[in-house]
Amino acid sequence: MKTDIDPVALGVFIFFFIVVTIMGFVAAKWRRPETLARIDEWGLGGRSFGTWITWFLIGGDFYTAYTVIAVPAVVYAAGAYGFFALPYTIIVYPFVFAVMPKLWDVAKKHNYITAGDVVRGQYGSKALELAVAITGVIATMPYIALQLIGMSTVIKALGLTGEAPLIIAFLVLAFYTYSSGLRAPALIAFVKDIMIYIAVIAAVALIPSKLGGYAAVFEAADAAFKAKGAGSILLGSNQYVAYATLALGSALAAFMYPHTLTGIFASNGANTIRKNAILLPAYTLLLGLLALLGYMGIAAHLQVATNNDVVPALFQTLFPGWFAGFAFAAIAIGALVPAAVMSIGAANLFTRNFWRAYVNPDVSEAGEAQVAKVTSLVVKIGALAAIVFLPIQFALDLQLLGGMWIIQTLPALVFGLFVGWFRAPALLAGWAVGFFGGTYFAFADGLKPLHTLHLGDTAITLYTGLLALALNIAVAVIVNLVVPARKPAVAAG
């Protein structure tokens, strides 16, 4: 990958970055409410987003800058295994259609802002509420850091060195999120998604023609994997279970994250969510096209320092400078939108389910909004510090744990929407076993997302998060059966 400064590419990049920065600050006046000094207005946009705004917002924070960088990188390194992201995003939308409208109804009726609020309302358990809130925050922090990694990759490709450009970019993000709340990423998501679509469609339409066509691309990839003795353009028979469980587990985890739930809670109705479940698969098509860039990188014989450099190197090598700058701007903006929503989601959790629950139960609406604003700044600064002062591998390892952790909140958040059988002690016990058991498996396996079970002479490799979730549910069922329900107190007299 080139590391010299291309003035044209840098100029185009700066232009679009300035445009979205202005939009971020203007967003405070877009669909302006009477006041932003309420957490539901600042952190949920007043629950007023219709079908198209919700579509762009959820797409914007679900398909991130790191997705654009990482999915082709995995395909470049491992081949077909990297395509697990496609079935995962196909599986997730029926789940959204069936579950999320019900969750929205409950949240709207009781003015819940977070998953922790929902759990507290369903079960009356502050311990379970805190467990869900802590899980959401710690699972989100490395996710924000990954957006920084995606942005730093394109900044490096532009020839900019040092940490100053990254720090400046995220300070700008921090300030317009502070002033505009969720409206800022919702407005910017329109620009980000359109730019990503243009860049990816141009790439999959034009790059193969420069490499001899798609047949030549697949032949080159197949030959390269055979030559190095690792990876393949087709799954091996020993990968089927791992691939399927990774896709299923990732799908179940995807909408448990605070940032995706924030997009759901910000919608203006249950039907808006159902329409989005129908429309969002358009992003899966984009993701499939995006993954093919990994094979194109092999066919183009790119020389890259890390797998994450594949996409920037492709645009640098095969497109003029102005379009490379445009694509890099799309990826960088693709970091700003989800990072903003993630920090808002984490701030909402901290404010509602820790600050209000334990520090200041009598906090005013304005005070609550102010705590959320400050927390969103702290969250971003923490993620930035992790990237600047700690090895990048640290953030990558934590993100592998993040998906396994967040899926453990699914029973507490979802089961109560449909059945009233489970009780808080059982769900809390299940969460603890899933959370800590899954963490043990992950560390024992060298922070890999897969765990191998040995059943006699049979070895089965599957997604650690799904295994931990199975233990979580099993323990919750057993405890619910064994531990008797607490009888309500009888009033004296």
Domain extents in the chain:
7-391
Taking only the tens place, the pLDDT of each residue in 173-182 is 888 788 888 8
Report the pLDDT averaged over residues 9-34: 80
Residue 10 near residue 325 (C-beta atoms within 8 A) = yes
Averaged pLDDT of the chain: 86
Question: Comparing 67-71, 159-163, 297-301, 370-374, which segment has the lowest mean pLDDT?
Answer: 159-163
Residue 250 near residue 48 (C-beta atoms within 8 A) = no
Taking only the tens place, the pLDDT of each residue in 74-96 is 899 888 888 888 888 888 899 99
293 has pLDDT over 80: yes
DSSP 397-426: HHHHHHHHHHGGGHIIIIIHHH-S---HHH
CA distances from 210 to 216, 289, 465 (A): 10, 17, 41
238 has pLDDT over 70: yes
pLDDT band at 491 (very low <50, low <70, confident <90, very high): very low
Taking only the tens place, the pLDDT of each residue in 193-215 is 888 889 888 998 899 999 899 99
Amino acid at 207: I
Answer CATH for 7-391 from 1.20.1730.10, 1.20.90.10, 3.10.20.30, 3.30.465.10:
1.20.1730.10
70 has pLDDT over 90: no
User: Is this model's pTM higher than 0.85 or not?
Assistant: yes
Report the pLDDT averaged over residues 4-31: 82
Residue 185 near residue 266 (C-beta atoms within 8 A) = no
CA dihedral 194, 200, 203, 204 (to 10 degrees): -130
